[in-house]
Chains A and B, each alone.
Chain A
Amino acid sequence: NEELWAQSVLEMPKRRDILAIVLIVLPWTLLITVWHQSTIAPLLAVHKDDGGDSQRDLAAGLDSKEYCLSDRDIVEVVRTEYVYTRPPPWSDTLPTIHVVTPTYSRPVQKAELTRLANTLLHVPNLHWILVEDSQRRTPLITRLLRDTGLNYTHLNVETPRNYKLRGDTRDPRIPRGTMQRNLALRWLRETFNKNNSQPGIVYFADDDNTYSLELFEEMRSTRKVSVWPVAFVGGLRYESPKVNAAGKVYGWKTVFDPHRPFAIDMAGFAVNLRLILQRPQAYFKLRGVKGGYQESSLLRELVTLSDLEPKAANCTKILVWHTRTEKPVLVNEGKKGFTDPNVEI
Chain B
Amino acid sequence: YVYSRPPPWSDTLPTIFVITPTYTRPVQKAELTRLANTFLHVQNLHWVVVEDSPRRTNLVSNLLEKAGLNFTHLNVETPKSLKLGLSWIPSHTPRGTLQRNLGLHWLRDSFSNTAPPEGVVYFADDDNTYSLELFEEMRYTRRVSVWPVAFVGGLRFESPKVSPAGKVVGWKTVFDPNRPFAIDMAGFAISIKLILEKPHASFKLEGVKGGYQETSLLKDLVTMDGLEPKAANCTKVLVWHTRTERPTLVNEGKRGFTDPRVEV
Contacts and interface: CB of A to CB of B under 8 A. Distances in A.
Interface of A: 37, 41, 43, 80-86, 88-89, 107-108, 110-112, 114-115, 118-119, 121-122, 124, 210-213, 229, 231-232, 234-238, 240, 253, 255-256, 316-318, 321-326, 328-334, 338-339, 343-345
24 contacts: A81-B2, A82-B2, A83-B1, A83-B2, A84-B5, A84-B8, A111-B129, A112-B129, A114-B129, A115-B38, A119-B37, A231-B26, A236-B257, A237-B252, A321-B29, A326-B242, A329-B151, A331-B154, A332-B174, A332-B175, A343-B235, A343-B236, A344-B237, A345-B151
B4 interface: yes
B38 to A, nearest CB: 4
Given A108-B242, A115-B38, A237-B258, A122 B5 contact: yes
A323 B246 CA distance: 8
A240 B3 CA distance: 33
A339 B37 contact: no
Contact of A238 (B4, B33, B258): B258
Contacts of A81: 1-2
Nearest to A334: B174
A119 B252 contact: no
B262 interface: yes
Contacts of A119: 34, 37-38
B7 interface: yes
B248 interface: yes
A94 B37 CA distance: 21
B180 interface: no
Contacts of A322: 247
B1 A235 contact: no
A255 B251 contact: yes
B84 interface: no
Contacts of B172: 338-339
A118 B131 CA distance: 8
Contact of A321 (B30, B41, B175, B257): B30
B150 A80 contact: no
B263 interface: yes
B132 A330 contact: no
A140 B230 CA distance: 22
A318 B156 contact: no
Contacts of B253: 255
A242 to B, nearest CB: 12
B34 A333 contact: no
A212 to B, nearest CB: 5
A88 B258 contact: no
Interface residues of B, number: 57
B170 interface: no
B155 interface: yes
A325 B2 contact: no
A238 B260 CA distance: 10
B115 interface: no
A108 B242 CA distance: 8
Given A317-B262, A339-B157, A323 B8 contact: no
Contacts of A330: 154-156
A323 B34 CA distance: 11
B153 interface: yes
A211 to B, nearest CB: 8
A38 to B, nearest CB: 8
Nearest to A318: B264
B120 interface: no
A84 B3 CA distance: 6
Given A81-B1, A325-B243, A115 B155 contact: no
Contacts of B37: 115, 118-119, 122, 213
A326 B27 contact: no
Interface string B1-17: 11111111000000000
A202 B262 CA distance: 27
Contact of A332 (B26, B155, B243, B250): B155
Nearest to A256: B251
Interface string B55-90: 000000000000000000000000000000000000
B240 interface: yes
Given A82-B1, A115-B38, A253-B258, A235 B8 contact: no
